[in-house]
Amino acid sequence: MSERRWNPVLGEWTITATHRQDRTFLPPKEYCPLCPTRPGGMETEIPRETYEVAVFDNRFPSLRADPSPPDVEGSDITPVEPSFGACEVVVYTPEHEATLGSLPLRRIRQLIEVWAHRTVVLGARDEAACVFVFENRGEAIGVTLNHPHGQIYAYPTIPPVLAREAANAAAHLEREGTCLFCGLLAQEAADGRRIVAQTASWVAGVPFFARWPYEVHLTPRRHVGWLHDLLEPEIDDLARLLVTVVRKYDALFGFTLPYIMAIHQRPTDGGDHEGYHLHIEFYPPNRTETKMKFLAGSEAGAGAFINDTLPETTAERLRSLEPRDPATIER
């Protein structure tokens, strides 16, 4: 009961996935389906007594390798397609109470390698035009399982946000002969006001045009398209920078900050995306300790984002914060 329906007005697909309505919703820790299966305990999604990083197909997938034929008939203006693709779950650790910021660097490196490996495997499939690694963290963002985990979707067409990024990067490369992202990175490095943290090979900063108050983008200094293009020292640096950014987030208001983490890699549709530059975007929904940024009329209805803060101010705040070990935070 899943299909893709074309929206000719916005020029994009909507995925319907009705079986998801009944998915597991915030179970208590003892019923967590992402914990290891312990002797004498409940059988979880992971039939092992322990693991390091676990990857498996989502039990409630919106996209799959063998979708059923659509239930509804399409038309010339509203075609319908089967939901080809993949939805995988990536469990970061067997420890139910951990977060991305509490994991040892070794584990985060491993996680980056898993993301890179799955991108290669899924991206090689004919039906995968784009592999999207992401994490939804916190109930404020709609998470249905608290155990630290992320997801990987393989879409059968390049999804709208990535398509716009790829088109603008390609147009910039065509027009200027240079990478748009490299240009932005040079501009931000020269200015400095919006930098949050940096290493030899990666830069984290609040974008000049941030939509969310504490939005942070992590960009490699070298022009690469995919996680699997990264060299060993770049993976080390990314692991360290991820921990730094997430621990700064946790220091911001003294609680585990909810966020969406979106890893934007070059599409895998076989097109020429030489101008596209790997980057990782974080969108925390909080605009203050107690108030959230909502996507309301202007954002959802017109697509015009209003940011109630100045990127220079939020970057300064994040830059000056001492990263906080999540183990010191009461949950």
Site string for its own copies, 269-308 (x = CB under 8 A): ------------x-x---xx--xxxxxxxx-xxxxxxxxx
Q: Toward its own copies, which CB reaches closer, 190 or 200?
A: 190
| Gap between the Cα atoms of 17 and 187, Å rounded | 42
CB 164 within 8 A of CB 113: no
Q: What is the closest distance, in whole angstroms, from the C-beta atom of residue 48 to its own copies in the complex?
A: 26
Q: How many residues bind its own copies (CB under 8 A)?
A: 86
Count of Cβ atoms closer than 10 Å to residue 142 Cβ = 10
Closest to its own copies by CB, 90 or 103:
90
Q: Output the furthest CA–CA distance in the chain (Å, rounded).
A: 64
Residues 231-260 close enough to bind its own copies by CB under 8 A? 260
Site string for its own copies, 71-90 (x = CB under 8 A): xx--x-xx------------
- Per rule CB under 8 A, is residue 69 in the interface with its own copies? no
**Cα 164 from Cα 138, distance rounded (Å):** 28
Contact 130, 267 (CB under 8 A): yes
Residue 277 annotated among the catalytic residues of the structure: no
When binding is defined by CB under 8 A, the residue of 183, 233, 254, 271 that contacts its own copies is 183
Q: Shortest distance, CB of residue 145 to its own copies, whole angstroms?
A: 13
Residues 141-180: x where in contact with its own copies by CB under 8 A, - otherwise, as a string? xxx-------x-x-x---xxxxxxx-xxx--x-------x
Return the structure tokens found at 311. Answer: 């990127």
Residue 322: count other Cβ atoms within 10 Å of its Cβ: 7
Catalytic residue among 19, 117, 149, 172: 149
Binding to its own copies, residues 311-330 (CB under 8 A) = 311-313
Residue 236 or residue 262: which is nearer to its own copies going by CB? 262
| Nearer to its own copies among residue 184 and residue 257 (C-beta) | 184
Q: Which residues of 235-244 are buried (b: 16+ CB within 10 A; e: fewer)?
A: bbbbbbbbbb
Residue 173's identity, in one-letter code, is L
Interatomic CA distance for residues 74 and 270, integer angstroms = 27
- Going from the C-alpha of 127 to that of each of 63, 80, 120, 153, 171, the distances in angstroms are 10, 16, 13, 12, 26
For residues 7 and 320, which CB has a smaller minimum distance to its own copies in the complex?
Answer: 7
In this structure, are residues 6 and 78 in contact, taking their beta carbons and an 8 Å threshold?
A: yes
Per-residue contact string for residues 190-229; x = within reach of its own copies by CB under 8 A: -----------------xxxxx------------------
Provide the minimum distance between the beta carbon of 22 and its own copies in the complex, in angstroms, as a whole number: 9
| Chain CA centroid to CA 145, Å | 16
Tell me the catalytic residues: 149
